[in-house]
Protein backbone atom coordinates (compact mmCIF):
# COMPACT_ATOMS: atom_id res chain seq x y z
CA UNK A 1 0.00 0.00 0.00
CA UNK A 2 1.35 3.40 -0.98
CA UNK A 3 1.12 5.91 1.83
CA UNK A 4 -0.13 9.41 1.23
CA UNK A 5 2.64 11.94 0.92
CA UNK A 6 0.30 14.61 2.21
CA UNK A 7 -3.10 14.65 3.84
CA UNK A 8 -5.59 17.03 2.28
CA UNK A 9 -7.72 16.94 5.41
CA UNK A 10 -4.66 17.68 7.54
CA UNK A 11 -3.63 20.62 5.40
CA UNK A 12 -7.14 22.00 5.13
CA UNK A 13 -7.64 22.08 8.89
CA UNK A 14 -4.00 22.66 9.80
CA UNK A 15 -3.83 19.74 12.22
CA UNK A 16 -1.35 17.04 13.12
CA UNK A 17 -1.42 14.13 10.67
CA UNK A 18 -1.05 11.55 13.46
CA UNK A 19 -4.56 10.19 14.29
CA UNK A 20 -3.27 8.60 17.51
CA UNK A 21 -2.48 12.01 18.95
CA UNK A 22 -6.03 13.17 18.31
CA UNK A 23 -7.48 10.04 19.87
CA UNK A 24 -5.33 10.45 22.96
CA UNK A 25 -6.20 14.13 23.05
CA UNK A 26 -9.90 13.31 23.06
CA UNK A 27 -9.35 10.90 25.95
CA UNK A 28 -7.59 13.40 28.18
CA UNK A 29 -10.13 16.12 27.38
CA UNK A 30 -13.01 13.81 28.25
CA UNK A 31 -11.30 12.89 31.51
CA UNK A 32 -10.97 16.59 32.33
CA UNK A 33 -14.70 17.00 31.71
CA UNK A 34 -15.52 14.02 33.90
CA UNK A 35 -13.42 15.06 36.88
CA UNK A 36 -14.55 18.69 36.67
CA UNK A 37 -18.22 17.69 36.69
CA UNK A 38 -17.57 15.26 39.54
CA UNK A 39 -15.87 17.97 41.57
CA UNK A 40 -18.66 20.49 40.92
CA UNK A 41 -21.34 17.92 41.71
CA UNK A 42 -19.83 17.28 45.14
CA UNK A 43 -18.99 20.88 45.97
CA UNK A 44 -22.30 22.56 45.14
CA UNK A 45 -25.93 22.01 45.93
CA UNK A 46 -28.13 20.60 43.22
CA UNK A 47 -29.46 24.06 42.31
CA UNK A 48 -26.00 25.67 42.39
CA UNK A 49 -24.57 22.86 40.29
CA UNK A 50 -27.25 23.32 37.65
CA UNK A 51 -26.77 27.09 37.63
CA UNK A 52 -23.03 26.57 37.18
CA UNK A 53 -23.53 24.33 34.15
CA UNK A 54 -26.05 26.74 32.69
CA UNK A 55 -23.53 29.51 33.18
CA UNK A 56 -20.99 27.53 31.18
CA UNK A 57 -23.60 26.97 28.49
CA UNK A 58 -23.82 23.21 29.01
CA UNK A 59 -26.03 21.85 26.25
CA UNK A 60 -24.72 18.29 25.95
CA UNK A 61 -27.75 16.66 27.53
CA UNK A 62 -28.24 14.78 30.78
CA UNK A 63 -27.19 11.41 29.33
CA UNK A 64 -23.74 12.75 28.40
CA UNK A 65 -23.48 14.32 31.83
CA UNK A 66 -24.31 11.02 33.55
CA UNK A 67 -21.79 9.20 31.37
CA UNK A 68 -19.03 11.63 32.29
CA UNK A 69 -19.89 11.45 36.00
CA UNK A 70 -19.92 7.67 35.86
CA UNK A 71 -16.43 7.66 34.38
CA UNK A 72 -15.15 9.97 37.12
CA UNK A 73 -16.78 7.83 39.80
CA UNK A 74 -15.10 4.62 38.65
CA UNK A 75 -11.71 6.20 37.94
CA UNK A 76 -11.47 8.40 41.05
CA UNK A 77 -7.99 7.08 41.82
CA UNK A 78 -6.76 8.60 38.55
CA UNK A 79 -7.99 12.12 39.29
CA UNK A 80 -4.45 13.10 40.30
CA UNK A 81 -2.90 11.54 37.18
CA UNK A 82 -5.41 11.50 34.30
CA UNK A 83 -2.59 11.36 31.74
CA UNK A 84 -1.94 7.77 32.83
CA UNK A 85 -5.08 6.82 30.88
CA UNK A 86 -4.26 8.82 27.78
CA UNK A 87 -3.71 5.76 25.56
CA UNK A 88 -7.10 4.26 26.36
CA UNK A 89 -9.98 5.34 24.07
CA UNK A 90 -12.98 6.90 25.81
CA UNK A 91 -15.23 4.08 24.62
CA UNK A 92 -13.00 1.53 26.36
CA UNK A 93 -12.87 3.57 29.56
CA UNK A 94 -16.66 3.81 29.61
CA UNK A 95 -16.83 0.07 29.02
CA UNK A 96 -14.81 -0.47 32.19
CA UNK A 97 -17.36 1.50 34.23
CA UNK A 98 -19.01 -1.64 35.53
CA UNK A 99 -18.72 -3.57 38.76
CA UNK A 100 -17.60 -6.67 36.90
CA UNK A 101 -14.56 -4.78 35.57
CA UNK A 102 -13.66 -3.15 38.89
CA UNK A 103 -10.68 -5.54 39.39
CA UNK A 104 -9.20 -4.24 36.12
CA UNK A 105 -9.34 -0.63 37.27
CA UNK A 106 -7.75 -1.64 40.57
CA UNK A 107 -4.96 -3.40 38.70
CA UNK A 108 -4.38 -0.41 36.43
CA UNK A 109 -4.07 1.81 39.47
CA UNK A 110 -1.06 -0.23 40.57
CA UNK A 111 0.77 0.27 37.26
CA UNK A 112 3.10 3.02 36.12
CA UNK A 113 1.86 5.32 33.36
CA UNK A 114 4.10 3.74 30.72
CA UNK A 115 2.64 0.31 31.48
CA UNK A 116 -0.99 1.33 30.92
CA UNK A 117 -1.53 0.65 27.23
CA UNK A 118 -4.64 -0.05 25.19
CA UNK A 119 -3.41 -3.53 24.28
CA UNK A 120 -2.92 -4.35 27.94
CA UNK A 121 -6.37 -3.12 28.89
CA UNK A 122 -8.05 -5.08 26.09
CA UNK A 123 -6.15 -8.19 27.18
CA UNK A 124 -7.29 -7.68 30.78
CA UNK A 125 -10.89 -7.31 29.60
CA UNK A 126 -10.68 -10.57 27.66
CA UNK A 127 -9.15 -12.41 30.63
CA UNK A 128 -11.81 -11.01 32.95
CA UNK A 129 -14.59 -12.14 30.61
CA UNK A 130 -13.14 -15.65 30.52
CA UNK A 131 -12.91 -15.68 34.31
CA UNK A 132 -16.51 -14.53 34.70
CA UNK A 133 -17.64 -17.18 32.22
CA UNK A 134 -15.91 -19.92 34.21
CA UNK A 135 -17.41 -18.64 37.46
CA UNK A 136 -20.88 -18.62 35.92
CA UNK A 137 -20.46 -22.15 34.59
CA UNK A 138 -19.25 -23.39 37.97
CA UNK A 139 -22.38 -21.98 39.60
CA UNK A 140 -24.66 -23.96 37.29
CA UNK A 141 -26.01 -27.18 38.80
CA UNK A 142 -24.35 -30.31 37.49
CA UNK A 143 -26.27 -32.36 34.96
CA UNK A 144 -28.10 -35.14 36.82
CA UNK A 145 -26.60 -38.58 36.31
CA UNK A 146 -27.62 -42.05 37.46
CA UNK A 147 -24.16 -43.50 36.79
CA UNK A 148 -21.98 -44.71 39.64
CA UNK A 149 -18.88 -46.92 39.91
CA UNK A 150 -18.15 -49.70 42.36
CA UNK A 151 -14.80 -50.36 44.02
CA UNK A 152 -13.64 -52.29 40.94
CA UNK A 153 -14.36 -49.33 38.67
CA UNK A 154 -17.37 -51.01 37.05
CA UNK A 155 -20.16 -48.65 36.04
CA UNK A 156 -23.73 -49.25 37.18
CA UNK A 157 -27.01 -47.32 37.20
CA UNK A 158 -28.40 -46.19 40.54
CA UNK A 159 -31.90 -44.77 40.68
CA UNK A 160 -33.04 -42.46 43.47
CA UNK A 161 -35.84 -43.46 45.87
CA UNK A 162 -39.36 -43.24 44.44
CA UNK A 163 -41.82 -41.27 46.59
CA UNK A 164 -45.45 -41.27 45.42
CA UNK A 165 -48.71 -40.44 47.14
CA UNK A 166 -50.39 -43.57 45.77
CA UNK A 167 -47.19 -45.67 45.84
CA UNK A 168 -48.16 -47.05 42.46
CA UNK A 169 -44.65 -47.90 41.30
CA UNK A 170 -43.84 -49.80 44.47
CA UNK A 171 -47.18 -51.61 44.62
CA UNK A 172 -47.08 -52.80 41.00
CA UNK A 173 -43.43 -53.78 41.23
CA UNK A 174 -44.12 -55.87 44.32
CA UNK A 175 -47.03 -57.59 42.58
CA UNK A 176 -44.85 -58.47 39.60
CA UNK A 177 -42.29 -59.89 41.99
CA UNK A 178 -44.80 -61.87 44.06
CA UNK A 179 -47.09 -63.11 41.30
CA UNK A 180 -44.65 -63.57 38.41
CA UNK A 181 -41.35 -64.11 40.14
CA UNK A 182 -39.66 -61.14 38.47
CA UNK A 183 -36.77 -59.30 40.07
CA UNK A 184 -36.77 -55.47 40.38
CA UNK A 185 -33.86 -55.08 37.94
CA UNK A 186 -35.72 -57.00 35.22
CA UNK A 187 -38.92 -55.03 35.81
CA UNK A 188 -37.07 -51.74 35.59
CA UNK A 189 -35.18 -52.83 32.48
CA UNK A 190 -38.38 -53.80 30.64
CA UNK A 191 -40.24 -50.67 31.74
CA UNK A 192 -37.45 -48.32 30.64
CA UNK A 193 -37.03 -50.14 27.31
CA UNK A 194 -40.78 -49.94 26.60
CA UNK A 195 -40.94 -46.23 27.49
CA UNK A 196 -37.89 -45.44 25.36
CA UNK A 197 -39.36 -47.31 22.38
CA UNK A 198 -42.70 -45.54 22.78
CA UNK A 199 -41.10 -42.09 22.88
CA UNK A 200 -38.69 -42.65 19.98
CA UNK A 201 -41.34 -44.24 17.77
CA UNK A 202 -43.65 -41.32 18.48
CA UNK A 203 -40.94 -38.88 17.38
CA UNK A 204 -40.36 -40.87 14.19
CA UNK A 205 -44.07 -40.84 13.38
CA UNK A 206 -44.21 -37.07 13.85
CA UNK A 207 -41.21 -36.50 11.57
CA UNK A 208 -42.72 -38.82 8.92
CA UNK A 209 -46.12 -37.10 8.94
CA UNK A 210 -47.26 -35.92 5.44
CA UNK A 211 -46.98 -32.26 4.47
CA UNK A 212 -50.34 -30.52 4.84
CA UNK A 213 -49.63 -28.65 1.59
CA UNK A 214 -49.76 -31.89 -0.35
CA UNK A 215 -46.06 -32.70 -0.64
CA UNK A 216 -45.67 -36.48 -0.50
CA UNK A 217 -49.45 -37.01 -0.42
CA UNK A 218 -51.64 -38.44 -3.21
CA UNK A 219 -54.85 -36.49 -3.90
CA UNK A 220 -57.80 -38.24 -5.54
CA UNK A 221 -59.94 -36.72 -8.27
CA UNK A 222 -62.51 -35.70 -5.68
CA UNK A 223 -59.79 -33.77 -3.79
CA UNK A 224 -59.71 -36.24 -0.90
CA UNK A 225 -56.35 -37.23 0.52
CA UNK A 226 -55.24 -40.82 0.05
CA UNK A 227 -52.17 -42.77 1.25
CA UNK A 228 -48.79 -41.01 1.29
CA UNK A 229 -46.74 -41.40 -1.88
CA UNK A 230 -43.62 -43.44 -1.16
CA UNK A 231 -40.32 -41.84 -2.07
CA UNK A 232 -39.36 -44.67 -4.41
CA UNK A 233 -42.44 -44.04 -6.59
CA UNK A 234 -41.39 -40.45 -7.25
CA UNK A 235 -39.04 -40.19 -10.21
27 contacts: CB under 8 Å, gap ≥ 6: 85, 86, 87, 88, 89, 90, 93
User: Rounded to a whole number, what is the largest CA-CA distance in the chain?
Assistant: 101
Q: What is d(CA 89, CA 35) in angstroms, rounded to the nearest whole number?
A: 16
Q: How far apart are the first and last CA of the chain?
A: 57
The answer to whether residues 33 and 126 belong to one domain is: yes
Q: What does the pLDDT look like over 173-228, one tens digit per residue?
A: 999 999 999 999 999 999 999 999 999 987 777 766 555 454 444 444 444 444 44
Count of Cβ atoms closer than 10 Å to residue 47 Cβ? 8
Q: Are residues 116 and 214 in the same domain?
A: no
171, with CB counted inside 10 A (0-12, 13-18, 19+), is exposed
Domain match, 112 and 176 both: no
214 belongs to a structural domain: yes
Q: Say if residue 172 is in the same domain as residue 108.
A: no
Kind plus residue range of the DSSP H or E element containing 156? strand 155-157
Residue 209, pLDDT score: 59
Q: Is 233 part of a structural domain of the chain?
A: no
Regarding whether 128 and 36 lie in a shared domain, the answer is yes
Gyration radius (Cα) of the chain, Å: 36
Residues 26 and 126 in one domain: yes
Q: 35 and 133 share a domain?
A: yes
Q: Write the pLDDT tens digit of every residue in 49-104.
A: 999 999 999 888 889 999 999 999 999 999 999 999 999 999 999 999 999 999 99
pLDDT tens digits for 116-166?
999 999 999 999 999 999 888 877 777 888 898 887 888 999 999 999 999
Count of domains in the chain? 2
25 shares its domain with 112: yes
Q: What is the spatial distance between Cα 203 and Cα 198, in angstroms, rounded to a whole number?
A: 9
| pLDDT higher than 60, residue 233 | no
Q: Closest by alpha carbon to 52, among 33, 37, 70?
A: 37
Q: Give pLDDT, residue 60.
A: 81
Domain housing 193: 160-228
pLDDT band for position 11 (cuts 50, 70, 90) = confident
| Backbone φ and ψ of 141, nearest 5° | -65, 145
User: Do 37 and 96 sit in the same domain of this protein?
Assistant: yes
Average pLDDT of the residues in 101-119: 95
Buried b (16+ CB within 10 A) or exposed e, 104-143: bbeebeeeeeeebeeebbeebeeebeeeeeeeeeeeeeee
Entry pTM? 0.57
Closest CA to 25 of 81, 70, 90, 76: 90
Q: Does 80 lie in the same domain as 185?
A: no
* Domain presence at residue 50: yes
Residues 97, 179 within the same domain: no
Q: Is the domain of 164 the same as that of 77?
A: no
Amino acid sequence: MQLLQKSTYCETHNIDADPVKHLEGSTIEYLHVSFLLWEYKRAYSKREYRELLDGYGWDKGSSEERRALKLAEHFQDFAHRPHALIEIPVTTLLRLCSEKYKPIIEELNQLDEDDITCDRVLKLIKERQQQLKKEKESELPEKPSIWRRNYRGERYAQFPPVYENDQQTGVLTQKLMDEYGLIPQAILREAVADLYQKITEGQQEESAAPDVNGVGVRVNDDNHYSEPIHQQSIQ
